[in-house]
């Protein structure tokens, strides 16, 4: 026999927190889910945006048509602002930018800053431009090119990363901007996972936080459950920055494959990289001429060797094997050090609510100290 049902009051939601960044992009909470190749698709991105943060689709591992489909799908799942992360040095970057404009995407995020003409075009069409940077001088440069805000990623962050920790990189960027009289919102990334981190970032003078690994480990991310479990089992010392994956410093989980790459011969690594680049080319329908053209642009912009350029084609396939196919032995799993602080798989809404409740509580306590 079932008793009468009593309507349960829905739990109170955390109050919004308005900063110059939330006002710029039109969101409730100063929390960004960053673009992560093979990870941030329509479900994760829309779940973040619906929860009051800013979700960002990762498009560097998508073909143009896949990106078109992903934007359309995301728009069916949320009417809140969301962004698209892309490679500014891809040969079809101008077409992708036209697509963002046509579709009215709110934010364009870039791992490498786009040229001033592309920034101007995006801004003229009402799109907010947010490059990710890893050095103070780059923040000043992209500000002079017209960027609206920057994501500053410290060395503890997952994926491609720099050598300086967030605790030092963030104030160095804020100081460099203020020395030049530049008033641009800065979003802190690398190592964030809770409300204490958000309160600390705001105390530094940032206008919000961006998180990759923490959002990968939510029930809304499409990464196979077995792979999420592999991440959850890791501690603070279980990531490594390897240049053997694609020739650039890349923070990944320490796995037997990564250790083999680290100790393997450069020739063997190069042959494997060329094979993976070929597979990526077939999968995305990219022509060799396009890949070579992309490679030449990459070489010019980043002063990379041809060996590094060939190895860059390696990353997408190795990440795909791990993050999409769930083969943790054959694939590479990009991850921030913060993986060692994460023990659960909340939904994006639960995650953002708990971060905001804790941030409000910390800010209140700090406010009472004075």
Ligand X SMILES: Cc1cc2nc3c(=O)[nH]c(=O)nc-3n(C[C@H](O)[C@H](O)[C@H](O)COP(=O)(O)O)c2cc1C
Q: Which residues bind ligand X (CB under 6 A)?
A: 34-37, 39, 58, 60, 85, 111, 132, 153, 156-159, 189-192, 211-214, 216, 334-336, 338
Closest to ligand X by CB, 135 vs 271, is: 135
Shortest distance, CB of residue 364 to ligand X, whole angstroms?
Answer: 25
Question: Residue 122: which H helix or E strand, with range?
Answer: helix 116-124
Closest to ligand X by CB, 37 vs 41, is: 37
Specify the pairing of strand 250-253 against strand 239-242: antiparallel
Closest to ligand X by CB, 13 vs 115, is: 115
- Ranges of beta strands (E only) in the chain are 31-33, 54-58, 82-86, 107-110, 128-133, 150-153, 159-160, 186-189, 208-211, 239-242, 250-253
103: tokens are 């579709």
**Cβ atoms of 314 and 331 closer than 8 Å:** no
Closest to ligand X by CB, 162 vs 295, is: 162
**Cβ atoms of 85 and 111 closer than 8 Å:** yes
If DSSP codes are grouped into helix, strand and coil, which group holds residue 146? coil
Longest dimension (CA), the chain: 74
Shortest distance, CB of residue 133 to ligand X, whole angstroms?
Answer: 10
Strand ranges of the sheet holding 159-160, from the earlier edge strand across to the other edge = 159-160, 250-253, 239-242
107: tokens are 């934010």
Closest to ligand X by CB, 134 vs 295, is: 134
Shortest distance, CB of residue 153 to ligand X, whole angstroms?
Answer: 4
Q: How far apart are CA 246 and CA 260, in angstroms?
A: 14
If DSSP codes are grouped into helix, strand and coil, which group holds residue 32? strand
Closest to ligand X by CB, 13 vs 297, is: 297
Closest to ligand X by CB, 14 vs 188, is: 188
Q: How far apart are CA 330 and CA 340, in angstroms?
A: 22
Closest to ligand X by CB, 70 vs 189, is: 189
Shortest distance, CB of residue 352 to ligand X, whole angstroms?
Answer: 14
Shortest distance, CB of residue 174 to ligand X, whole angstroms?
Answer: 18
**Cβ atoms of 361 and 199 closer than 8 Å:** no
Shortest distance, CB of residue 7 to ligand X, whole angstroms?
Answer: 39
Closest to ligand X by CB, 13 vs 279, is: 279
Q: How far apart are CA 80 and CA 233, in angstroms?
A: 34
Radius of gyration of the chain measured on its C-alpha atoms: 20
Closest to ligand X by CB, 169 vs 367, is: 169
Shortest distance, CB of residue 11 to ligand X, whole angstroms?
Answer: 27
Question: Residue 190: which H helix or E strand, with range?
Answer: none
Shortest distance, CB of residue 40 to ligand X, whole angstroms?
Answer: 8
- What are the distances in angstroms from CA 19 to CA 131, 160, 184, 186, 201? 19, 28, 12, 11, 12
CB-based closest residue to ligand X: 212
Shortest distance, CB of residue 19 to ligand X, whole angstroms?
Answer: 19
Percent helix, percent strand, percent coil in the chain, to nearest 5: 50, 10, 40
Shortest distance, CB of residue 61 to ligand X, whole angstroms?
Answer: 7
């Amino acid at each position: 026999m079932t008793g009468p049902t009593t309507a349960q009051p829905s739990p109170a939601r955390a109050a919004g927190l308005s900063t110059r960044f939330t006002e710029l992009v039109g969101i409730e909470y100063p929390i960004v889910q960053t673009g992560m190749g093979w990870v941030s698709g329509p479900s994760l991105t829309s779940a973040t945006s619906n929860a009051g943060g800013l979700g960002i689709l990762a498009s560097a591992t998508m073909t143009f048509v896949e990106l078109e489909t992903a934007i359309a799908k995301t728009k069916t799942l949320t009417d809140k602002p969301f962004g698209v992360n892309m490679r500014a040095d891809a040969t079809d970057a101008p077409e992708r930018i036209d697509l963002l404009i046509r579709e009215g995407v709110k934010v364009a995020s870039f791992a490498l800053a786009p040229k001033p003409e592309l920034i101007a075009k995006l801004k003229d069409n009402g799109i907010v431009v947010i490059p990710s940077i890893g050095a103070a001088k780059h923040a000043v440069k992209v500000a002079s090119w017209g960027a609206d805000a920057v994501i500053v990623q410290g060395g503890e962050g997952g994926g491609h990363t720099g050598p300086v920790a967030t605790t030092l990189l963030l104030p160095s960027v804020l100081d460099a901007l203020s020395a030049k009289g530049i008033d641009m919102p800065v979003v802190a990334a690398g190592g964030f996972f809770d409300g204490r981190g958000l309160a600390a970032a705001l105390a530094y003078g940032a206008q919000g936080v961006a998180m990759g690994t923490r959002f990968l480990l939510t029930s809304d991310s499409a990464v196979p459950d077995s792979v999420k479990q592999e991440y959850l089992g890791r501690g603070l010392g279980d990531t490594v920055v390897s240049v053997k994956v694609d020739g650039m410093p890349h923070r990944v989980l320490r796995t037997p494959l990564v250790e083999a790459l680290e100790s393997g011969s450069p020739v063997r690594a190069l042959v494997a990289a060329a094979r993976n680049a070929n597979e990526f080319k077939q999968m995305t329908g990219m022509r060799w001429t396009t890949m070579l053209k992309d490679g030449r642009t990459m070489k010019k912009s980043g002063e990379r060797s041809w060996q590094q350029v060939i190895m860059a084609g390696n990353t997408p396939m190795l990440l795909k094997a791990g993050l999409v196919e769930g083969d943790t032995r054959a694939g590479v799993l990009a991850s921030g050090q913060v993986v060692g602080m994460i023990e659960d798989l909340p939904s994006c809404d639960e995650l953002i609510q708990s971060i905001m409740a804790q941030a409000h509580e910390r800010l209140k306590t700090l406010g009472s100290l004075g």
